Amino acid sequence: MKNLRLKAARAAKDLSQEQLAALCNVSRQTISAIEKGDYNPTINLCIAICKALGKTLDELFWEG
């Protein structure tokens, strides 16, 4: 399932996939794969992404 909340949060911060990837120390393709729903990140990467975007895990990753 696509993670549109992540994409929206990244866009709101005016960050490219490349920039977010650099902040989280991963490749651009990994951010792309998470946004497309092709890859389920570990909790450590989820936390790194949340910190970079100033969001909580619930806001970006929890499917309530």
Partner 1 sequence: MKALSILIGIAAGIGLALVIFKYSNRNHKMETQYDERQKDVRGKGYRYAYYAMMIYEAILLILSIGEVALPVESYVLHFTGMLVGAMVLATYCIWHDAYWGLNNNRKRYGLIFLALGILNAIPVIGSLARGGMLENGKLATPAINLGVLIMLVVTGAELLIKAQLEKRGAEE
Interacting residues with partner 1 (CB under 8 A): 16-17, 25-30, 32-33, 35, 39, 41-42, 44-45
Burial degree of 64 (CB within 10 A; 0-12, 13-18, 19+): exposed
Between 44 and 64, whose beta carbon lies closer to partner 1? 44
DSSP label at 42? -
Between 13 and 64, whose beta carbon lies closer to partner 1? 13
Helix axes 43-53, 17-24, angle to 10 degrees: 120
Between 24 and 55, whose beta carbon lies closer to partner 1? 24
